[in-house]
Structure 1
């Protein structure tokens, strides 16, 4: 029983180490999001930035928080500051907030949280798909990124946004006309991240407690092997 518990603990440590390796280190940078103010004013809403984002003129600036890989090689996920985003307000209407964005280069889709009063409360929802995308990280499309010890660069240009099919299907199933939310796609003209240095991936050094756990596991296996030989 003890050996089984030790083996399980070691397996959990291995899984945790593999999961943490999915994040790719990089030099902190910001993304700029082009905003078409006329697309918002036509709806009667006013627009402002929320959380860790700032809006000046027709540009929303938001920090890139992390880069992740689900597989190696694989498509890059670009995660933006969790609380940063946009808020739309209109008299006698529930406010609409869009936050916690992630751009998935495997599908060129922008995900995020969308809140609209008590009517909509969506988390990590597929929202918009870009029809024009280029990236300098992991090839021109960013879908062949590998964990590597070599320094690389990140650059992204995405434009031509439309409501994602998944979002349109959700709205249709909820008996809401997707075109009523078309202004969300119209107001975002482009997402750009300038070229920035990606620092080399350094293998994590196990903590002393990890070495101790592994040592206990090896001792336990040695004892079991010895008892079997004596038997």
Structure 2
């Protein structure tokens, strides 16, 4: 007695992965506002405007690029309305230059928490800022990481996104994050080496310039089920 076999099942259509540049832009969309918020909280405006003035007027002298005050081994904190720490900035030394109304920070270390609990860390050999903190620059051994909130309520040790290079500029009013020097962006098992890049948060555009290469690890393929007999 012959038995008929059921026709084989059609192979499942593999899900098309999303373009890597779309995934990177999606990450930066949630990442940039946190970085800009952290820089705005540096307290530069408060420090500059509240610096004690001279008791007696002196004759105006040609402006020289020399600091009028310094702060060593300082720490600035900003606490949210809920009493939680939002931003902490530390540095080996901070200097204010009256001729350009700018600040320089040596050995800057930034720690910023978003309302959802995610954490942004930034370090650099030096940072500069104008008086209203609208133009902020990190210089030398720049490393910025973003950590998502874990199940236990603490930021995960493994960063979701890492940006490293020798220079990173944040233009707060324009909501731009850019570098004219080579930078490496690592995320989701992939890595992009860009000669330069610019992220425009207002318009949701991510641009690379010059020689740019990327390396991405593909997720392991699922074992297909055997055919029924």
* Normalised TM-score (structure 2): 0.30
Name which one, 1 or 2, has greater alpha-carbon Rg.
Answer: 2
> Which gives a bigger RCO, structure 1 or 2 (Cα 8 Å, sep 6+)?
1
* Normalised TM-score (structure 1): 0.30
The structure in which a higher percent of residues are strand is: 2
